[in-house]
Structure 1
Amino acid sequence: MTVIAATAIAVSVFLAFQVASELLARELQSTAANQLRADSRVLAANAERAGLARVQLPPYPGSGRLVRVILPDGSTRTPAGQPALPAVSEHAGRVARGASADLLESNDSDEDGYLIYTLRAGDGAVQVAHVADDGPINRFGFGMLLIGLLSMAGAALAGLTVARTGLAPIDRLTAAAVRVAHTRDLDADIPDEGGGEIRRLIQSINDMLAALRSSRQAQRLLAEDAAHELKTPLTSLRLNVELLIRLDRRGTLDSALPAESRTRLLNDLGAQVAELSALAAELTDLARGDVSDESTELLDLADVVVAAATRVGSRVPDIEIAMDVTSVWVSGRPAALQRAVLNLIDNAGKWSPADQPVQVRLRAESASAVLEVDDAGPGIDAADVPRVFDRFYRAESARALRGSGLGLSIVQRVVDAHGGRVAVARSARGGALLRVGLPAAAPPAPIARLTAGEDNAAR
């Protein structure tokens, strides 16, 4: 900014000097020419009265005006002691011969330049000359140069001051950002100062720091909750494995553990490994948040619901599922939506009695796709409803059942990512009713297909 300000002032002063110098030179030349014309007329009038050869020429004052008479034969007369003027030019000779009335010419070829005015007088001509003086222009140029230098210095100082004052908040913002990067301290907000764009920038960075704090807190809670949930199955798995290893080393595995107990222990180990695998998969899915490589596409939610129900049926054959779905199109990620529906059905299957099916309904309602999953179980206590979608939260009555407490949390994350809402209510059968609403989308335009006869007719 300092360089730009100084350069702008320098260019402005230079252009102003050029224009002003040209105007001053023209004004000085015009004033001198007018004076020469007036003096020439006086000298010409005297010459016509007294004759060119006898006219009294004014003595040379020592500086300033010079005079000369051009006689009819081409010779000249000048006052005594006057410096010699340049030779009579051809144009001035034509004036003396009567070809022209007057002539103003400038002679800059010598050391001293002359402005010479020639006026026809009698049978010859008179000339009045003035030494061209560049002093005023030179003095004017020196003054402009001095003014320009002072202006450039002032502009540089002002630009530097303005730049430092205007960029001071940016410097402090940069220092604060560097401090946050080095200390990893996200709790210190950057002071809101300045105005306009600076203030909006600081507010945006503070919002970013707040988002980072929230993300770090969520990661810390996830890590703590995951460590807590992993502790119990890992401890049980480790104890069972250590028991098998100890008995095998002693050679008493067959005697200490009968076939029935060994089978039960191995089944228990398999169940614990499956529980850990499911927990690890849910933790991975939850930790990814909304970051996914899966692209959004237009899909029929009925196909997603049927596919999820099929997966639950193949994985847990004891769950009976009653389907009542209609075609509703939404814009979303198929795998994420299928995982959410699978978790809803799986959660309902844990509570629904063996002789009561899990009911799954899908319908279009206004501009939404509404999915309802209900069971005939005991329902959700009112005290547990506000926390039912929290990670790792499990009601007192659900802690003896399989699961990690992450299923409904994943459901809410997927639904939120698709701009929908999920709610808990009590079903008509007394169990829990989980209702999901997603923004509906217009179905794709049908592709027209012609039969062979129609195709020929169209042609």
Structure 2
Amino acid sequence: MSLRLTRWWRRRSLRARLTVIAATAIAVSVFLAFQVASELLGRQLRGAAEDQLRADSRVLAAEAERAGPAQVQLPPYPGAGRLVRVILPDGSVRTPAGQPALPPVSEEAGRVVRGGPADLMESDDSEEGHIVYTLRAGGGAVQVARAADDSPVNQFGFGMLLIGLLCVAGGALVGRTVARTGLAPIDRLTAAAVRVAQTRDLDADIPDEGGGEIRRLIQSINDMLAALRDSRRAQRLLAEDAAHELKTPLTSLRLNVELLIRLDRRGTLDSALPAESRTRLLNDLGAQVAELSTLAAELTDLARGDVSDESTEVLDLADVVVAAATRARSRVPDIEVALDVTSVWVSGRPAALQRAVLNLVDNASKWSPADQPVQVRLRAEGASAVIEVDDAGPGIDAADVPRVFDRFYRADSARALPGSGLGLSIVQRVVDAHGGRVAVARSVRGGALLRVDLPAAAPPALTAHRAAGEDDAVR
């Protein structure tokens, strides 16, 4: 039953839930108010009845004191209302003629006659539920009783029931009205979100209205739409740039392949293309294929953005730099890579950082003369880990510095060199994802100096030692 009720509740709309909650709250409030008011009214009525019984008993007791319990004149029974009785010293009783019989004298009332307590207020267990007051007088006692009258309480309860039903109905109506008014911004927000989903128009911001939580929700959704717009714009630019960059190598590759196919179909491949020309053409095809493969890999890496399955860990950046330099030496054997690294710990993704360092070294290798090494330095500087890669090449023109990290940007002097123009863009993305910054300057050797600053981290052993020290301090 509980599970079924839970499922029913979860299927209800927020407006229906607020209506039910408001009606239930009012019903519980009315019920509690009825219980408290009924209890107070019952006590007040009983107190008034007991006060009246005490007053009537004192009058009858005064007469019993003068005339004695056996001779006291008992008032005639009025036909309704109070009942009187005199208890004689021997335990017998006297009642007015025609008066309905009272319950037998209780043991506690008998003790009043025998000199126990001076008076006693009690209720019997009969169907009428009499309230009986016993007062000692003239060697015996007098009793005045009255049937408990619950009709005022019952009438009050019936009135409260009608009022409660009206309050519950009114509470449900008010709750529904409040829910409709309070949720109106949510309805408009939902309609706007549905319109954006149907039209795919991310430029349509949702109007900012309301206050408090509603305003924060609308602002959050508008921020999300702005992020989606930026993401769509970045994807469109990436696709346009990629199409532009792929056009030239694909065109060249297609023309060379069509030339080979056409000559081969004519049977004039050997005569039209001497061995030296054919070798040069095949080398060009291999270089173009390699360039396309590199471009495709870099486009894939760039398109992934910060989405990666690689977990973040505390690592020694020196290991990353050495691994990147080793890969760079294997890719460009003619260029020497000189390392000057110290152990600096950072928190990051090893493969992404290695790719960034490798791109820096590859970029420097294109410009550095064969007899001049690419210098890679790693050191700690304050709270940062600093990587510097410099070459002895011609350096970067001042006009190219602001755009050197843009996607597909290649300086005029670099047009003839291999590359896609994505390497340094990937470097900046990786550095930004790790909370660092990258900058370009001129090397003391005259070439380009690319500097990366990353937030340093405490070594794992030091972190564990500090944690152990804190635990000892707590103990």
The aligned residue for residue 188 of structure 1 is 204
Output the aligned Cα RMSD.
2.8
Q: Secondary structure of 1:361's match?
A: strand
1:305-333: CA deviation from partner (whole Å, max 9, x where unpaired): 33333322322233244444444443333
Q: CA deviation at 1:371?
A: 2.6
1:66-118: CA deviation from partner (whole Å, max 9, x where unpaired): 33344567665444444444455565566566676544333452x54433334
Q: Secondary structure of 1:410's match?
A: helix
Matches within 5 A, 1:11-410: 11-52=28-69, 54-70=71-87, 76-88=93-105, 92=109, 101-109=118-126, 112-122=128-138, 124-410=140-426
Residues 51 and 186 from structure 1, CA distance in 2 versus in 1: closer, same or farther, beyond 3 angstroms? same
Residues 132 and 280 from structure 1, CA distance in 2 versus in 1: closer, same or farther, beyond 3 angstroms? same
Distance 1:133 1:177 in 2: 65
Q: CA deviation at 1:119?
A: 3.6
Q: CA deviation at 1:258?
A: 1.9
Q: CA deviation at 1:443?
A: 4.6
Distance 1:325 1:121 in 2: 115
1:266-301: CA deviation from partner (whole Å, max 9, x where unpaired): 111111111111111111111111222223334443
Distance 1:306 1:90 in 2: 106
1:387-431: CA deviation from partner (whole Å, max 9, x where unpaired): 111000111222122111111111111222222221122233333
Q: TM-score of the superposition, structure 1-length normalised?
A: 0.86
Distance 2:317 2:116 in 1: 107
Residues 319 and 13 from structure 1, CA distance in 2 versus in 1: closer, same or farther, beyond 3 angstroms? same
My pick for the range that moved more, 332-341 or 437-446, is 437-446
Distance 1:443 1:99 in 2: 91
Q: Secondary structure of 1:434's match?
A: strand
**Percent same amino acid at aligned positions?**
88
The aligned residue for residue 21 of structure 2 is 4
The aligned residue for residue 7 of structure 2 is none
Q: Secondary structure of 2:183's match?
A: helix
Distance 1:47 1:300 in 2: 110
Distance 1:357 1:92 in 2: 120
Q: Secondary structure of 1:191's match?
A: coil
Distance 1:150 1:370 in 2: 76
My pick for the range that moved more, 146-155 or 203-212, is 146-155
Q: Secondary structure of 2:121's match?
A: strand
Q: Secondary structure of 2:187's match?
A: helix
Structure whose alpha-carbon radius of gyration is higher: 1
Q: Secondary structure of 2:188's match?
A: helix
My pick for the range that moved more, 437-446 or 258-267, is 437-446
The aligned residue for residue 457 of structure 1 is none
| Structure 2 residue runs without a partner (length 5+) | 1-17, 463-475
The aligned residue for residue 431 of structure 2 is 415
Distance 2:321 2:134 in 1: 111
My pick for the range that moved more, 354-363 or 389-398, is 354-363
The aligned residue for residue 449 of structure 1 is none
Letter in 2 for 1:137: V
Distance 2:65 2:339 in 1: 131
Letter in 1 for 2:76: P
Residues 239 and 32 from structure 1, CA distance in 2 versus in 1: closer, same or farther, beyond 3 angstroms? same
Q: Secondary structure of 1:130's match?
A: strand
Residues 41 and 296 from structure 1, CA distance in 2 versus in 1: closer, same or farther, beyond 3 angstroms? closer
Q: Secondary structure of 1:290's match?
A: coil
Name the count of aligned residue pairs.
445
Residues 400 and 14 from structure 1, CA distance in 2 versus in 1: closer, same or farther, beyond 3 angstroms? same
My pick for the range that moved more, 137-146 or 405-414, is 137-146
Distance 1:192 1:309 in 2: 53
My pick for the range that moved more, 384-393 or 341-350, is 341-350
Q: CA deviation at 1:444?
A: 5.4
Q: CA deviation at 1:192?
A: 2.0
Q: CA deviation at 1:32?
A: 2.0
Q: CA deviation at 1:244?
A: 1.7
| Structure 1 residue runs without a partner (length 5+) | 447-459
